[in-house]
Amino acid sequence: MAKEWTLLVLCGILGTGFSEKPSWFGNISTSLFKSPGDILIGGLFPINELTSELSKRVKPDDLECNSISTYGLSLALAMKFCLDEINSKPNLLPGITLGFESYDTCMQPAVVMRPVLQLLTRESTEELDVACNYTDYKPRVIAIIGPNSSELVPVIGKLIGFFLMPLISYGATSDMFSDKETFPSFMRTVPSDRWQVVAMVQLLKVFGWNWVSVVGSDDEYGQKGQQQFSSMANEESICVAYQGLIPVYSDSEQAVNEILNHIVDAKVGVVVVFSTPKPAREFFIQVIKRNMTAVWVASTAWALNDIVSTLPGISSIGTVLGFADITRPLDLFTSYIRELFTKMEETQIPQEPDTEISPLDNPCPRCSYLSQANVSMVEMSVVQRSAFSVYTAVYCVAYALHDLLGCNATQCALNPRTDNVYPWQLLRSLQNVSVDFEGVKFMFDKEGNPNFGYDVMQWNFNDSTVHFDIIGYHYQNLTINKNNIKWHTINGKVPMSTCSSDCGIGQVRRVKGFHSCCFDCIDCKEGTFLNNSDDIQCKSCPAGQWSTLRSTSCVYPIYTFLDWSNYESVGLILGGILVLASNVWIGALFFMHRGTPLVKTAGGPLSGLMLLSLAGACISLVLFLGQPGDIVCRLQQPLSAFFPTVALSVILTISLQIVCITEFPEKSSDHLENMRGRGSLFVILGCCGVQAGLCGWYAQEAPSLTQYVASLEVTYVKTFLRCPVEPMLNFGLMLGFNVVLALVSFMATFMALKPPGQYNLARDITISTLSYCVMWVMFIPIYTSLNDKDKSIAQVGVSLLSNIGLVVTYFLPKCHLLVKHPELNTDDHFRTFLEGVPPTPPEES
For 150-206, the pLDDT digits (tens) are: 889 999 999 999 999 999 999 898 889 999 999 999 999 998 888 899 999 999 999
Does residue 189 contact residue 437 with C-beta atoms inside 8 Å? no
Helix ranges (H only) for 460-596 are 567-592
Whole-number pLDDT of residue 557:
93
Give 439's pLDDT tier (boundaries 50, 70, 90).
low
Tell me if 8 sits within 8 A of 440, measured CB to CB: yes
In the DSSP assignment, the letter for residue 454 is: E
Q: Which residue has the higher pLDDT, 377 or 565?
A: 377
Question: Out of 68-77, 566-575, 829-838, which region has the weakest mean confidence (pLDDT)?
Answer: 829-838
Contact 80, 341 (CB under 8 A): no
Strand partners for 468: 459
Rounded Cα distance between 594 and 260, Å, is 108
Q: Over 60: is that where the pLDDT of 402 sits? A: yes
The overall average pLDDT reported for the chain is 87
Per-residue pLDDT, averaged over 446-451, amounts to 91
CA 803 to chain centre: 61
What pLDDT band is residue 5 in, cutting at 50, 70 and 90? Answer: very low
| Confidence bin at 12 (pLDDT 50/70/90) | very low
| Residues in contact with 447: Cβ distance below 8 Å, sequence separation at least 6, in sequence order | 178, 180, 192
* pLDDT higher than threshold 80 for residue 532: yes
Q: If you average pLDDT over residues 537-553, what whole number do you get?
A: 91
pLDDT in tens, 654-669: 888 887 777 766 665 5
pLDDT value at residue 282: 94
pLDDT at 130: 85
DSSP state of 675: I
SS3 278: helix
CB 175 within 8 A of CB 228: yes
Residue range 595-609: average pLDDT?
Answer: 84
Residue 602 confidence (pLDDT): 81
* Amino acid letter for position 518: C
At 228-283, the pLDDT tens digits run: 999 999 888 899 999 999 998 788 899 999 999 999 999 999 999 999 999 999 99
589 contacts 598 by C-beta, under 8 angstroms? no
DSSP code, position 407:
B
Identify the bridge partners of residue 239 per DSSP, sorted by sequence position.
Answer: 211
Burial string for 657-675 (b: 16+ CB within 10 Å, else e) reads bbbbbbeeeeebeeebeeb
pLDDT at 438: 58
Confidence of residue 59 (pLDDT cuts 50, 70, 90): confident
- Considering 2-16, 588-602, 747-761, the range whose residues carry the highest mean pLDDT is 588-602
The DSSP symbol for 506 reads: T
Q: How far is CA 294 from the centre of its chain?
A: 26
Measure Cα distances from 155 to 73, 83, 110 in Å: 22, 27, 9
CA-closest candidate to residue 276, choices 150, 393, 380: 150
Q: How far is CA 310 from CA 26, 142, 273, 284, in A?
A: 37, 39, 17, 11
Average pLDDT estimate for 485-506? 87
Q: Would the CA dihedral through 778, 779, 783, 786 be positive or negative?
A: positive
pLDDT for 841 equals 56
In this predicted structure, which of 218-232, 331-345, 591-605 has the lowest mean pLDDT? Answer: 591-605
| Tens-digit pLDDT profile for residues 449-491 | 998 889 999 999 887 788 899 999 898 889 999 988 999 888 8
Confidence class of residue 13 from pLDDT cuts 50, 70 and 90? very low
Phi-psi region of 544 (alpha: psi -120 to 50; beta: other; left: phi over 0): left
* One-letter identity of residue 737: F
Q: Strand 318-325 and strand 294-298: pairing? A: parallel
Contacts 24+ apart (CB under 8 A), 549-554: 549/506, 549/523, 549/524, 549/525, 550/504, 550/505, 550/506, 550/507, 550/523, 550/524, 551/506, 551/524, 552/505, 552/506, 553/529, 554/529
Say what the pLDDT of residue 11 is. Answer: 37
pLDDT band for position 686 (cuts 50, 70, 90): very high
* Under 8 Å between Cβ of 101 and 359: no
**Stretch among 96-110, 584-598, 690-704 having the lowest mean pLDDT:** 584-598
Query: Is residue 720 pLDDT above 70, yes or no?
Result: yes
Phi-psi region at 270: left, alpha or beta (left = phi > 0; alpha = psi -120 to 50):
beta
Q: Are residues 264 and 277 in contact, defined by beta-carbon separation less than 8 angstroms?
A: no
What is the pLDDT, as a whole number, of residue 139? 94
Structure confidence at residue 644 (pLDDT): 94
Count CA within 13 A, CB hemisphere, residue 320: 29
In sequence order, what E strands does 618-740 have?
718-720
User: What residues have CB less than 8 Å from 401, skipping those under 6 apart?
Assistant: 39, 93, 96, 98, 142, 407, 421, 426, 429
Residues 6+ apart with CB under 8 A from 683: 649, 652, 653, 656
DSSP annotation string for 775-826: HHHHHHHHHHTS-HHHHHHHHHHHHHHHHHHHIIIIIHHHHHHHHH-GGG-S
What is d(CA 637, CA 560) in angstroms, rounded to the nearest whole number?
19
Q: Which pLDDT value is given to residue 424?
A: 95
Q: Rounded to an integer, what distance in angstroms lies between the CA atom of residue 365 and that of residue 359? A: 9
Mean pLDDT within 514-521: 82
Express each pLDDT in 792-840 by its tens digit: 999 999 999 999 999 999 889 889 888 888 888 877 777 666 555 655 5
Report the pLDDT value the prediction gives residue 326, as an integer from 0 to 100: 81
The alpha helices in 530-629, defined as continuous H runs, are: 567-592, 597-601, 605-620
Predicted pLDDT at 674: 63
Dist CA 801 CA 809 (whole Å): 12
CA triplet 460, 464, 466: central angle to 5 degrees? 30
Whole-Å CA distances, 237 to 240, 475, 738: 10, 22, 71
Torsions phi, psi of 502, nearest 5? -60, 140
Specify the pLDDT at position 351.
57
